[in-house]
Structure 1
Amino acid sequence: MKYTNIDFNNKTILITGAAGFIGSSLCFYFQENYPDAEIIALDCFRSGETFSNGNLKSFGHFKNLLGFNGQVISGDINDKELLKELERNFNLDYIFHQAAISDTTVQEQDLMVQTNVNAYEDLLKIAIAHGANMIYASSAATYGDSDRFEVGFEQPNNAYGFSKVMMDNISYKYIKKGVDISIVGLKYFNVYGPREFFKNKTASMVVQFGHQILNGQTPKLFEGSDKILRDFIYIEDIVQANIKACAAKQSGVYNVGTGCARSFEDIVNILQKELEIDNGKEYIPNPFVGSYQFFTEANIKSTKENLDYEPRFSMEEGIKAYLPEIKRLFETEVKKG
């Protein structure tokens, strides 16, 4: 479905991180709804390279773009020559900037800031030069140790959250300058849904629990997990927020969640009910006590007011919509893997 009256046909749209979870979902939204839009999908794609924590440097996967008809460019947003080529070769109307180091456990602070902060400002300058509206991925990780999930109350507790705060600060700097483009940052809460599978260990617990249950395993939950609450948001509502951000009443940074915190216990209960498989539950000690968020819930008042955003999927509805894909992945990826 279309989320705005804006006609994106004959517009040039750059999507960074386009082979990732949210980037690829945006690629297909435009392809399906605006066949005459020029979509440029930029991603550095995965290689064997890893960070010091052993996780991949890029989660971008070609399978997320199977069936995509637009232009695909393999490149790193830290490559200033690549950015110059993009600026020269395309007349951009919109930039959806999803590319980032999004692994919160990455220890390479220098690369985190270079990729998430400095490259963002380089892209923002291109957007301003082209008169292209900028919509970018911020994160609920900016709140960290805060107990108030509103813009202005950020307390990041890792380098990733810090980098996203710095991106938001850059945005406000340019907004205050009175630039002629719209700049909207979207603080995503806990996103789940199709095309996240190739995030590996950083994919949501929805798909991970789903595959454990289908595999005959007993889902492992932290002790007290019925009291560990998160704002889980289905990918379709993330896409909705990105599209509606193109018609934002004012530039700024906005929370994107459901505004309703749910427990990890709820996820397992819904999955086992929908799959009609009851493998029970196993409770294990939480090794992250002291550095773990026990509660997140987006305040979406300003998002509703300025983006006309309204979450459409409860957790029950989101998991139900996701199940066919969870089952397909189990057959085609998990069992074969």
Structure 2
Amino acid sequence: MKYIDIDFNNKTILITGAAGFIGSNLCFYFQENFPEAKIIALDCFRSGETFSNGNLKSFGHFKNLIGFKGTVISGDINDKEILLNLENEYKFDYIFHQAAISDTTVSEQDLMVKTNVNAYEDLLKLAIKHKANMIYASSAATYGDASSPQTVGNESPNNVYGFSKLMMDNITYSYLKKGLDISIVGLRYFNVYGPKEFFKNKTASTVVQFAHQLLKGNAPKLFEGSDKILRDFIYIEDVIQANIKACSPKKSGIYNVGTGKARSFQDIADILQKELGTSFQTEYIPNPYIGQYQFHTEANVQASKEELGFEARFELEDGIKAYIPEIKRLFEQEVK
């Protein structure tokens, strides 16, 4: 679906984090809808390196890009030589910056800020030199425990990841004051789920994790009180819609990308059981993340509607139903 009246054919598009969840979906969106677009896919593909929490430093996986016909570059956005090469070898029209350390349990504050904050400003300077519109991934983690509905301007991050994304947004505001001739849009993703998230491992959505528990014949395990833990879950196709509409905003700025509706983890388990034809009793376990865990998120999407023309199309039931064939394929090919 072509969400806006822009012809991206013959445009040069940089997508960072391109072997990750949202980045890879963007790559295929442009390839399928604008086959003459020149897509440069930059990713720091995974190695065996881990953070102190035991999770991988990069979740980028080649399987997310199987079938992609554009240019793939393995590189770290912290590497200034890589950025200089991109600046000199290409003339970008759009930059979709999805690369980040996105694991909210990472405690390496220095690397988190360097990767998420400082590298973003370097890319923004490249965008300005190329006169390329910048669309980047911010996060609902900027809100922390702020009351719902979460609204831009009312942030209180409770982990370094949320802090780093808020600092990115602050950089955006400072550059917008300079009266640039490009647009800059930060998209605060809420809880995204859908195809190509599987290789995020333990940080993939509860949708795919619960589904695979069920397909293994196991009861879904939820944190205690999950019927009262509410999140704004948004399907990947709506996130892609938001990115495309952010290419031509009425006004640059920071916008929420959510459905505007809070749903529980219990809802996810129940919908999955219905779709997969199972009827297990849910098991409840203690929540180890109290203090760094959001218990209620619900995006205020009014500004997103007015300035981007964005409105989510998928209810939770619709998104999960659309996702089921891919969940089953992954189970057969990657899990069993």
- TM band (smaller chain): over 0.9
CA–CA distance in 1 between the matches of 2:285 and 2:24?
A: 35
Shift of 1:288: 2.9
Alignment partner, residue 137 of structure 1: 137
Instruction: List aligned pairs for 1:251-262, cutoff 5 A.
Output: 251-262=252-263
CA–CA distance in 2 between the matches of 1:285 and 1:89?
A: 52
Counterpart residue type for residue 73 of structure 1: I
Alignment partner, residue 292 of structure 2: 291
CA–CA distance in 2 between the matches of 1:102 and 1:286?
A: 20
Q: Residue by residue, what CA displacement relative to the aligned partner does 1:175-229 show, whole Å, maximum 9, x if unpaired?
A: 0111110000000000000000000000000000000000000111122211110
Counterpart residue type for residue 66 of structure 2: L
- Percent identity between the aligned chains? 77
CA–CA distance in 2 between the matches of 1:285 and 1:62?
A: 35
Gaps of 5+ in 2: none
CA–CA distance in 1 between the matches of 2:205 and 2:283?
A: 19
- 2:145 touches 2:295 (CA, 8 Å); kept in 1? no
Shift of 1:291: 3.4
- 2:159 touches 2:292 (CA, 8 Å); kept in 1? no
Shift of 1:278: 1.2
The answer to whether the aligner puts 1:281 opposite 2:277 as a matched pair is no
Shift of 1:293: 1.6
Matched positions, count: 335
Alignment partner, residue 86 of structure 1: 86
CA–CA distance in 1 between the matches of 2:287 and 2:134?
A: 39
**TM-score with structure 2 setting the length:** 0.99
CA–CA distance in 1 between the matches of 2:87 and 2:93?
A: 12
The answer to whether the aligner puts 1:212 opposite 2:218 as a matched pair is no
The answer to whether the aligner puts 1:301 opposite 2:285 as a matched pair is no
Q: Residue by residue, what CA displacement relative to the aligned partner does 1:7-45 show, whole Å, maximum 9, x if unpaired?
A: 000000000000000000000000000000000000010
The answer to whether the aligner puts 1:15 opposite 2:15 as a matched pair is yes
Q: Residue by residue, what CA displacement relative to the aligned partner does 1:309-332 show, whole Å, maximum 9, x if unpaired?
A: 010000000000000000000000
**TM-score with structure 1 setting the length:** 0.98
Instruction: List aligned pairs for 1:7-86, cutoff 5 A.
Output: 7-86=7-86
Gaps of 5+ in 1: none
CA–CA distance in 2 between the matches of 1:286 and 1:53?
A: 17
* RMSD of aligned Cα (Å): 0.7
Q: Residue by residue, what CA displacement relative to the aligned partner does 1:272-313 show, whole Å, maximum 9, x if unpaired?
A: 001111122112232333433210000000000000001000
Q: Residue by residue, what CA displacement relative to the aligned partner does 1:70-96 show, whole Å, maximum 9, x if unpaired?
A: 000000000001100000000100000
CA–CA distance in 2 between the matches of 1:13 and 1:291?
A: 36
